[in-house]
Amino acid sequence: MDAPSQNAFKKLIRVLTERMFKHLRKQFVTRFFGRSRQRARLVSKDGRCNIEFGNVEAQSRFIFFVDIWTTVLDLKWRYKMTIFITAFLGSWFLFGLLWYVVAYIHRDLPEFHPAANHTPCVENINGLTSAFLFSLETQVTIGYGFRCVTEQCATAIFLLIFQSILGVIINSFMCGAILAKISRPKKRAKTITFSKNAVISKRGGKLCLLIRVANLRKSLLIGSHIYGKLLKTTVTPEGETIILDQTNINFVVDAGNENLFFISPLTIYHIIDHNSPFFNMAAETLLQQDFELVVFLDGTVESTSATCQVRTSYVPEEVLWGYRFAPIVSKTKEGKYRVDFHNFSKTVEVETPHCAMCLYNEKDARARVKRGYDNPNFILSEVNETDDTKM
């Protein structure tokens, strides 16, 4: 191998070694120090709110029991199923005790040795177990026909009516709560996904913050509306510190931000102009900012007509400056449109101004050149011309 080839080979080895050590250092920092650098966020990537309420008065806690329907719906499944089983078993056992008491008072039990012509309040109740079975058969309207109420006791007839009514109420409430929780639009929101990162790049000649959102179902969201909130800590001129101060962020697509035709993934964008809170940020200072961008998508489920809301958030580390999203929709030879979700969150680096102010200053300068603005510092000096040529 000649000398030039050896030098090129050494240079290649050196470049590859530097890249390898740079990659290993990045992985080491991310693995061991990434967690300590994670910012506290109000809304997680899947839309859950990271907030807790402390020092709530006991009287305020009682309000949750007043609105028992919403409280039951908001419970987790394990607690809901525990209440479901407890409600039915508890009511069966409670009325079983009452039926046993009626039989005991009327001396219908075998230990009282009733006469042959004795008419019991409830036929074939011989103990607590049979009373529990009769309570179960009454409340769930099984009606085996072996145990039944006679007309001998008005107390038994009243207890039968009361248990039947209460059983219908318990059955309606618990089954309705289970059905309502299963059909909640919150589950429909799980099939709406946002891109992992937000990107900042030029779109239509303007600097924009872009986010990609997709509907994983073929059924549409009717009347969709998308908007955002920028959360950050601010200090007022009076010196008051406001934590989680909210600023409206307007997101649009090419057709507007309402009534989206949500049949394929959409790229929504926020124009970074003079009224945008991102206007004074730059590529070099983005990671030094302390904010959280929360994005909301509201819509009506086409199949159930229920309104749902999807949420996600982005912190400065998840906003990529100078990137755009890779294409995701293509057309097959058969004439069908194909969505490749492999590229859903994939980004491509593009040339982008490092700040919004630079872009608009450049545009203003070009506009002034086209309009032919005079230089105010230019002074025209008159010079008397002399003709030194003689004929």
Same domain, 341 and 197: yes
Domain boundary among 183, 216, 238: 183
Flag whether 294 is in a domain. yes
Q: What is the DSSP string of 333-372?
A: TTS-EEE-GGGSS-EEE----SBHHHHHHHHHHHHHHHHT
Q: What is the CATH number of the domain that holds 238?
A: 2.60.40.1400
Shared-domain flag, residues 170 and 306:
no
Between 319 and 333, the higher pLDDT residue: 319
Quick one: pLDDT band at residue 119, thresholds 50, 70, 90? confident
Contact yes or no for 208/273 (Cβ under 8 A): no
Q: Which residues make Cβ contacts (< 8 Å) with residue 47, sequence separation at least 6? A: 189, 310, 311, 312
The answer on 230 and 157 residing in a single domain is no
Query: CA neighbours within 13 Å on the CB side: how many for 134?
Result: 27
Would 199 be classed as within a structural domain? Answer: yes
Quick one: 218 and 102 in the same domain?
no
**Residue 44 forms part of a structural domain:** no
Q: Which domain holds residue 328?
A: 188-366
- 109 falls within a domain: yes
Residue 54 lies in a domain: no
Tell me, yes or no, whether 292 and 207 share the same domain. yes
pLDDT tens, residue by residue, 236-278: 888 888 888 899 999 988 655 566 777 888 889 999 988 899 9
> For the chain, what percent of residues have pLDDT higher than 90?
30
Q: Is 239 inside a domain boundary?
A: yes
Q: How confident is the model at residue 324 (pLDDT cuts 50, 70, 90)?
A: very high
Is residue 384 included in any domain, yes or no?
A: no
| Final residue in a domain of this structure, among 150, 183, 216 | 183
Task: Bin 322: left if φ > 0, else alpha if -120 < ψ < 50, else beta.
Answer: left
* Statement to judge: residues 213 and 294 lie in one domain: yes
Residues 197 and 178 in one domain: no
pTM score of the predicted model: 0.67
Domain count along the chain = 2
Q: Is the residue at 219 inside a domain?
A: yes
**pLDDT > 70 in the chain, percent:** 81
**Does 202 share its domain with 322?**
yes
Tally Cβ neighbours within 10 Å of residue 357.
Answer: 16
- Give me the CATH number covering residue 102: 1.10.287.70
CA angle at residue 282 from 41 to 366, to 5 degrees? 145
- 198 and 343 part of one domain: yes
